[in-house]
Chains A and B, each alone.
Chain A
Amino acid sequence: MGYTLNFNLIWRHFDKLWGGLLLSLELAVISIAIGIVIGLVLAVWYVSAGRVVRGIIAAYVEFIRNVPLILLVYLVFYGLPTVVDLVYSAQTSFVATLALYSGAYLVEVFRSGLEAVPRGQLDAGKAIGLTPWQRLIHVRLPTMMRITLPALSNTFISLFKDTSVASVISVPELTYGAQWINFNTFRIVEVYLVVTAMYLMTGYILLFALRLVERWYRTAR
């Protein structure tokens, strides 16, 4: 137990971590944004579709949810270019993968939210003469948002943490930065202490911000 903590080398390379954190956030934001579009479109489609479409959407969700993210990342980055004629960077590859991945989780969140909208509200929308599209936009989606926001926040935080998987294909996000410093300084305990703290802090800040959004949404008029 003669190990003494020494953070000096960490601070010297802190730009690797800070830049990594910013990239992690960027990856998360872009992937989640695409994932939200995928999730919303498929969820709305699912609740109004017939058996075949439902089956296809369910298969996508089940596939993604049952395969570890790291495998999907390898599959898209190393596997896909060998069968299709596409050239893309590791970063693009990861964003595409995490977008598909978050899409599958968000379909589930949105679908259960849509199904939880009370029938009475949809009836009320029908009764005043709203068309199906108007009911979706003005009644169903706003109510769904109120129902799903807490679950949505948790999913977002979890997807932010999942950006660490990008390190396996050398995308220089936060975890990759940590590994780089570890390999070059051997201050393994220090670097992971600092990085853990950074993930925790960022997670808490995100959660706090999302809770503010939830509160605002509940009381907005």
Chain B
Amino acid sequence: MATSSNNSTALLDIAEVSKSFGSVSVLRSVSLTVAKGEVVTVIGPSGSGKTTLLRCVNFLESYDSGSIRIDGKEVGYRDAGTRQRRSERDLAAMRAETGMVFQGFNLFPHLTAAGNIMLGLTKVRGKSSAEARSIAEHWLGRVGLGHKADSLPAELSGGQQQRVGIARAVAMEPKILLLDEITSALDPELVGEVLAVVRSLAEDGMTMVMVTHEMAFARDASSRIVFMADGGVSAVGPPREVLAAETTNERLRTFLARFRASHF
């Protein structure tokens, strides 16, 4: 599987990205390409930089060196090799092309389920509110919440809130969807309903990069799995290969063993 940085068919091209918070080096020359329609799952121990990597992709976090391109376009910095940050207006426009779903849902508490989805459609995509409303209703239907359009987040269960979070992200028709441990804050019995939505998006061909600890789901739903350790990509490949118990990668084996011990 190609992971080189000059893969011209890549939708997302992360090339030698490094980042540190103060003196702590969090990403060390991370390279990863994701083709259109691929579902790439990132796994790894706590603190290995998974969240930071996802947040760099839509420039919620800046990075110190390297480049991240979506459809060939540098995400956070102006092109031509400068390290000059894009204007806030440009950044907003770039971010509209990537969707993000958060561990903590992060719904806007003052807006209804439909309102959460409509905000970006009206303010960013310039749709009329009638049009935005019908798109919102369509996506709420897709995530099984057609009857909750006018509920406030506080009136929804965690699983329902997260499904609204997914609908809010995909309604913008992003080129790529970033999902960071989106089921970690949920009670176990609510995890399934959220993963079912993700699976159906994958079947529709949505390009996704997700961080998850749901190994069974990662194995079944991913095109490739990336194992991160200490801020670097330590292993990458098809699920069967990466999750194989007899891997020669010492760190990966330790991670999987500990994982199996605690999760199965």
Q: Name the contact of B123 in the complex, choosing from A118, A130, A220 (C-beta under 8 A).
A: A130
Range of interface residues on chain B? 20 to 34
> A128-B95, A128-B169, A130-B123 known; A143 and B108 CB under 8 Å?
yes
> A128-B168, A130-B123 known; A143 and B99 CB under 8 Å?
no
Complex Cα gap A120–B55 (Å): 12
User: Which B residues are in CB contact (< 8 Å) with A219?
Assistant: 152
User: Which A residues are in CB contact (< 8 Å) with B107?
Assistant: 124
| Count of residues in A whose CB is under 8 Å from the partner chain | 22
A to B contact number (C-beta, < 8 Å): 78
- State the main secondary structure of chain A at its contact with B: helix
User: Which A residues are in CB contact (< 8 Å) with B192?
Assistant: none
Complex Cα gap A127–B152 (Å): 20
A51 at the interface (CB under 8 A from B): no
In the complex, the answer to whether A127 meets B104 with C-beta atoms within 8 Å is: no
The 18 sampled A-B contact pairs (Cβ below 8 Å) are A120-B102, A121-B106, A123-B60, A123-B100, A124-B100, A124-B106, A124-B107, A127-B99, A127-B100, A127-B169, A129-B92, A129-B94, A129-B124, A134-B92, A138-B108, A138-B123, A142-B110, A143-B109
Please list the residues of chain A having a beta carbon within 8 angstroms of any beta carbon in chain B. 118, 120-121, 123-132, 134, 138-139, 142-143, 146, 219-221
B150 at the interface (CB under 8 A from A): yes
Q: Which 9 A-B pairs have the closest CB atoms?
A: A129-B96, A128-B120, A120-B106, A124-B106, A127-B100, A129-B124, A142-B110, A131-B92, A129-B95
B82-135 contacts to A, CB under 8 A, are 88-89, 92-100, 102, 104, 106-112, 115, 119-120, 123-124
In the complex, the answer to whether B108 meets A221 with C-beta atoms within 8 Å is: no
